[in-house]
Structure 1
Amino acid sequence: MDFMVDRKIESGEPGEALQKPVTRIISKGSALTQKVIYVYCPSERESEIKQIVESYPFETIVNDYALNTYEKKVICHFESASLTKEQRQYLVKATELGAWVEPLVSYLDHRLGYTEVKLLHSGYFLHQKAFSILSTKRTQLSKRFVDITAAVCLAIISLPVCIVTALAIKLESKGPILYRQKRVGQYNEEFEVIKFRSMGTDAEKSGAQWAIQNDSRVTKVGKFIRKTRIDELPQILNILKGEMSIVGPRPEREVFISELEKTIPYYRFRHAVKPGVTGLAQVSYPYGASVEDAVWKHKYDIYYIKHHSTLLDIKVLLKTVKVVLFGAGR
């Protein structure tokens, strides 16, 4: 199915179409359900935009300056600073006459529920006030309060489970009960993440390796505690120490980050916040251990940082309970 229709007028410049205002202003809810959206971008980026959005479940029309009606129209712009003065004025007029006009990345954020990282550019990150989790002290204090409260409650509730798990690990195989590993945290500072050991003590004798589904290095007890996420419970200590949050991007190892940032745009921006025991990516995307999987999880991590709220944290925690009960995700 052809999702892209390029009806750019021959001159590539706005015509004299902006004459009549719409009779009804489109609502946000309606804007997010339109079957067709109009995108305006520099001509040299058209093919890239088409390739990125070709799989989306709605039609995208690029640079159609002959558009002459704005009833329930969604108009998105990408790199508008690179448009000509006349083209930018066209977008301003469309806004004045009642069209829904919004940056493309922002619109896709709300419609898809994740950030299209292939469309990111530096300007997306240069408006810190748009990231309340980064710029609002009250938000940070609120999140820390939730973290400590949740960690203390979880520690009390899970204590019997932790004791049984520790005994099971000790009985099954030789080695320490807890496993410590350096991970990269907020502001790119390394810390030691603490987990129940789920693999043999020689799991990385050949060097660092991606953890994969049905990993042969995982012990029998380890398989169960990884599936139920019991192995993550010792990270309560990381939370109390202020190194982690209950919800946030999962912490990764520097050896993998150095490779991933070569192919994934702005991959280290995930370190603008504390890593989490669980996160939006973990409950939204199935288990994976490839660069493509890392790209998808990055889409959810960037979305989480931009749109963080206490309500979103609660939703992630509720979804985490579902993941634990049904053994999905990671």
Structure 2
Amino acid sequence: MNKGYKLLVLTSCMLALVVVSLGAYTRLSNAGLGCPDWPGCYGFLTVPNESHELSVVEENFPNAQVEPKKAWIEMIHRYFASLLGLLIVVLCIIAFKYRFSNGPHVSPRLKHSIGLLVLVLFQGMLGMWTVTMNLQPFIVMGHLLGGFTILALLVLLLLRTHHSGITQARPNQHRSFLLAIFALCVLIIQIALGGWVAANYAAPHCSGLPICSNIELFSIKSLLHLPVGQSNYEFGVLPFETRLSIHFLHRIWAVVTAVTLFWVSWRIFYKEQNVEIQSAVKLVCTFLVAQLVLGGLIVHLQFPLLLTLFHNIMAALLLLAMVRLCFLLTSKQGVAI
């Protein structure tokens, strides 16, 4: 069971990264409403293209126009997300079967798997609300954060599976661990702000480097203007100055995040004389530099879709690198220098 289980967890991690990437591509290509219903597409399991199918669409969705490209982008995302949900169900069943494999107490693996199952069910509900509420930004951002959380928890499960025999230290007394957790929280806020930028279609409203071209429009007060009370939120409903302020806040916190992660990485690198931990620190810094470069290029090149997609993927990889570093700092492992 052990080898097969590890392979299943690894496959789930890779699939989760694909789902997060497809979700980002769906948002960036404006395909979120490619299928106006859920879980099918205009009442079908695939995108309708036959004449009799289009007749049904015209009857049931009289004001809709089928856009095959956008619809397929959305449906492919749903197919992969459904497969991921199925794999998480299988992980939960296996964990339940071997729940007492390490003694009389319930295995932490089972608790972890049940948490993942609950989260993926809620993520499915968010996916439905994203469509039925016509891309309401709070729901869209929640859906994005849910996908990142599922990916992070699957990677954490993979780490626990591969390091199941390691003696655990007491993280609440470990200064390096607390520093890493602090940096992780700062990074999560930055990811949430990035999700808020995407959900409100605010990226193009802050052009120019290092500050926005129309920075005089920035105001804290405008950030309190929330996207509510609309029937459709596609392409954004907030005024220009609010979207500019949202984007610029994301840039400000990016500086805070970069400074925090570099400082914490430097402290941990020289405090923890451990090869694996130092390697994890280097990986965090590498992903952070790549993310900063991508962010600058995206603005300079006027927000090309492919680079923006890589920016989303790099955010996920940076999050996973930080999760791995936090995990390693709770374990007495690695080869001492």
TM-score range, shorter chain: under 0.3
TM-score (norm 2): 0.24
More helix by share: 2
Higher-Rg structure is 1
Report the TM-score, using the length of structure 1 for normalisation: 0.24
